[in-house]
Amino acid sequence: MELEEKITANLGKRIVILDTSAFIAGFDPFSINEEQYSVPAVEGEVAGNSMAWLRFKTAVESGKLKVKMPENIFLEKAKASATIVGDAFLLSETDFQVLALALQFKIQGCSPLVATDDYSIQNVAKHLGIEFASLATFGIKRFLKWMRYCPACRRKYPADYKFRICQICGTELKRKTSRKNYKQKSGNNNGEVK
């Protein structure tokens, strides 16, 4: 299909894109009717959490959820945008895949909506003109608490803290969720995502 025809066919089609936080917080793809997508890196992260993994796999096997890798050009655009916003250092490869996939659908004429509670993803989505919705929108009541912290002096900062370095010692901040059972395939089990 030519891109132009594809855009016409897709025009305004709502597509919900799910990040890791959605599955960890308990989102069930069967709870909404919209077409849903996620990315390979989310699949990798969700695999460390048995309940989330079960929901994810069941949805994929039934065709309710599709896993799609965005094209490189959109990954590059998402990264460039994050750099402008100043949040690039807080985003992981997973986050960039989520944003890039949303951008790809948008270029194809769809109306993507990123479901995430992650402030940095929301910031970059805003900059890219991509809609986002917090998980509460989907009836999720079990919130993940995001925070930033200094890996050197351990000082804690709010999730939406505007500066990238620790005000005490100048070390670059990291972020994590406070849910203890948030595990990643990489072996990191304290909820750290970057």
List contacts with Zn ion (CB under 5 A): 150, 152-153, 166, 168-169, 171
Nearer to Zn ion, 80 or 152 (CB): 152
Q: Would strands 35-38 and 146-149 be described as parallel, antiparallel, or unpaired?
A: unpaired
Nearer to Zn ion, 3 or 152 (CB): 152
State the nearest-atom distance from the C-beta of 163 to Zn ion, in Å.
12
Nearer to Zn ion, 55 or 176 (CB): 176
What does R_g of the chain's alpha carbons equal in angstroms?
17
State the nearest-atom distance from the C-beta of 118 to Zn ion, in Å.
22
Tokens 């690039």 found at: 88
State the nearest-atom distance from the C-beta of 123 to Zn ion, in Å.
23
State the nearest-atom distance from the C-beta of 152 to Zn ion, in Å.
5
Token pair, residue 29, equals 């793809």
In the chain, what is the straight-line distance between the N-terminal and C-terminal CA atoms, in Å? 39
Nearer to Zn ion, 103 or 150 (CB): 150
State the nearest-atom distance from the C-beta of 47 to Zn ion, in Å.
32
Nearer to Zn ion, 80 or 168 (CB): 168
